[in-house]
Structure 1
Amino acid sequence: MAKLVLMHRADSIYEDVPDVRYDFPKTYLKAAREAVGDWAIYYEPVKAGPRGYFAVARIQEIIPKPGVQDRFIALIEPGSYLRFDVEVPRLLQGRPLEAALRHADGTPKSGGAQQLAMRRLPDEDFARIVNIGLPQNLERIEAARYNPDAYEVAEDAAIFERPVIERLTNRPYRDVAFRRKVREAYGYRCAISGLQLRNGGGRPEVQAAHIRPVAHKGSDSVSNGLALSGTLHWMFDRGLISVAEDQTILVSRNKVPGEVVDRLIMPDLKLCLPQDKREWPHPENLRWHRENVFGQFIAAEPMPWG
């Protein structure tokens, strides 16, 4: 097995969906096959935007692209994709993070390897990039974000040095990373009510909901998330509300009283979306929710509105 860097740009001619598939030409087939079962880091080239290294995922399988000669698809293992909490710059103190992209004195090389859409990545470089993008102590950072006292109490406790791969597969850690990126993308505003509420300590009263649950092969991509208030998160997970293809909010009217709709949902029934279109809910995720969750609620527990 071998780890990779995958170059990705939103305006590419290749049909990439970062948390689902990576489309590439035959030139890179050997390297891609070597990476099956291992991890890859996504990289945005200079001409495409400022993000640098921005996400990580595990390659599950390589298949020919249907109907296209000499093109292949790297299928991403469901649930493995994760955005970095901090986008990692291409250069750190003027030195490339990848050994293959720098001279012996640390200065950047020009041309060659840095132009490759897919390139092998040594374990040491992989760990270094992930450790910058997804800090070891991310859970502590989030816990202390709106409660500095929580950090002070834990200050004397040593940070648990969790290996990189263990961290990438740890559900509590991934939940924190997902929550931070989804809430940030929506400006800490509920996508359905439009409200941006904070408690007395400044903590946002908005949660991060998976559109397609991880248990049903959903990803931790922001495009599989919605920022929702607690009540609306409960309603969404139980299929009382959903989102149409045109981003109109759907309501199970025979189960949700009109006064609840009037109080909790935007009057125009339109979703509040992130500024960055790359972070909008993916149509396939919304379709899955409509077909598998919406309208299927069975009243086995009390409604949150009494």
Structure 2
Amino acid sequence: MANGVFIHREDSIYRDTPAVSYHFPKQYLERARACIGDWILYYEPVKVRQSRGYWAIARVESVVPDPDQPGMYYAMIEPGSFLQFSTPVPFVLDGTVVERGLLNEQAKISGRAQAAVRPISTQDFIRIVNLGLRDEDEMLPRRDEPAAENRVREDGPAFHFEERERVQQLVSRPLRDRAFRRTVLDAYDARCALTGLKLINGGGRAEAEAAHIRPVEANGPDIVSNGLALSGTVHWMFDRGLLSLGDDLSILVSRHVNDRDSIMALLNRSGHARLPARAADHPHPLFLGWHRETCFKG
């Protein structure tokens, strides 16, 4: 087993669904196989406009041939392992390349940086994960919040892990919930996607909550495209199948809703969800379809 870096970009010609599978040609087969059972980093190249750099981690479960394209393969991601960073990590930070294994003897960036699949040292992997999962300035939800004058920080110490505990930490639900909450609230500007409400209390805490479209219990990944920023009541209704979204992001209201007029008055007048600025963060049809088929009480 070995850690690796998988290069992914939104406009890729490959059929990647980062939280589910990574598509690659045969030339990278042995490198990808070396990562089976271990964690990889997703990286977006600096040439991509507004590149996120190193932006997520996942664990490779298996590598299988693409049945439709000879010479192509999929690295299948272990369900529930994908996690989007709360703080994307740039390729160069404070003037230094964060993936130091890419530097040659002359301290220049080597050609290895161009490889779509490449190994990464444990030291570099840990460094990048620790940078990516920092949670400073997090806009925590309003639940159980003490009065401002008596508040003790709710977010605890900064995340940090060492090699011996990396698996336990990276599957930790509290850590994942915190990172998911921050990435979703950042993407939606802390505004409810279905009502447009953006309520921030006096302590700087957001009223909106981060909702999984396909829940964790059903192997829903911790990626923004599987999330929505929702106000508390709307979150409750969404989880219980009283609200959902079409693939065109139209808001669907269950026929089982009582007081329908009041609910309709609360929702966006456009009849559609408000979306993050970045297209890759929009709700993915794969997860929306699951919610409609499994949860929604049409």
TM above 0.5, one fold? yes
Shift of 1:210: 0.4
- Does structure 1 residue 38 correspond to structure 2 residue 38? yes
SS at match of 1:46: coil
Q: Residue 171 of structure 2 corresponds to which residue in structure 1?
A: 169
Q: Is the 8 A contact 1:193 1:266 kept in 2?
A: yes
Partner of 1:10: 10
* Paired letter, 1:44: E
Number of aligned positions between the proteins: 290
Change (3 A) 1:239 1:72: same
- Percent sequence identity is 47
Aligned to 1:282: 284
Deviation at 1:120, TM superposition (A): 0.4
Any idea what SS the aligned residue of 2:201 has? coil
Amino acid at match of 1:84: F
Which residue matches 2:124? 125
Residue type of the alignment partner of 2:86: D
Q: Is the 8 A contact 2:138 2:182 kept in 1?
A: no
Specify the alignment match of 1:71 in structure 2: 72
2:232 aligned with 1:230: yes
Shift of 1:83: 1.2
The residue number in structure 1 matching 2:198 is 196
| SS of the residue 1:212 aligns to | coil
What's the offset of the Cα at 1:224? 0.3
Task: Check conservation: 1:139, 1:173, Cα contact below 8 A.
Answer: no
Per-residue deviation, 1:161: 5.4
CA gap 1:2/1:264 in 2 versus in 1, 3 angstroms: same
Confirm or deny that 1:216 pairs with 2:218.
Answer: yes
Change (3 A) 1:206 1:100: same
- CA distance, structure 1, for counterparts of residue 253 and residue 154 of structure 2: 45
Letter aligned with residue 194 of structure 1: G
Separation in 2, partners of 1:288, 1:108: 47
For 2:267 and 2:157, locate their aligned partners in 1 and report how far apart those are by CA, in whole Å: 45
Residue 188 of structure 2 aligns with which residue?
186
Larger Rg: 1
Change (3 A) 1:91 1:159: closer
Q: CA-to-partner distance for each residue in 1:262-293, whole Å, 9 max, x for gaps?
A: 33211221111111111000001000000000
Q: CA RMSD in A?
A: 2.5
TM-score scaled by structure 2? Answer: 0.89
The CA deviation at 1:143 is: 6.1
Q: 1:118 to 1:152 in 2, by over 3 A?
A: closer
Higher alpha-carbon deviation: 40-49 or 260-269: 260-269
* Structure 2 partner of 1:85: 86
Which amino acid in the other structure matches residue 15 of structure 2? E
Q: Contact conserved, 2:141 with 2:208, CA < 8 A, in 1?
A: no
The residue identity in structure 2 corresponding to 1:73 is: Y
Question: Structure 1-normalised TM-score?
Answer: 0.87
Q: After superposition, what is the alpha-carbon deviation per residue over 1:105-156, rounded to whole angstroms, capped at 9, x for unaligned?
A: 6x3324x201100000111110011011113xx38966699969645799xx
Change (3 A) 1:149 1:181: farther
Letter in 1 for 2:223: S
Q: Tell me which residue corresponds to 1:270.
A: 272
Q: Give the letter aligned to residue 10 of structure 1.
A: E
- Mark the CA change 1:95 to 1:161 in structure 2 (over 3 Å): closer, same or farther: closer
Q: Is the 8 A contact 2:65 2:74 kept in 1?
A: yes
Task: Work out the CA distance in 2 between the residues paired with 1:260 and 1:253.
Answer: 14
Unaligned runs of 5+ residues in structure 1 are: 297-306
Rounded to whole Å, the distance in 2 between the matches of 1:177 and 1:169 is 12
Q: Which residue of 2 aligns with 1:304?
A: none
Counterparts in 2 of 1:66 and 1:198: CA distance versus 1, 3 Å? same
Partner of 1:301: none
User: 2:19, 2:221 within 8 Å by CA — same for their partners in 1?
Assistant: yes
Q: Distance in 1 between matches of 2:141 and 2:228?
A: 23
What is the match of residue 98 of structure 2? Answer: 97
* TM-fit CA distance, 1:91: 1.8
Report the Cα offset of residue 104 of structure 1.
3.7
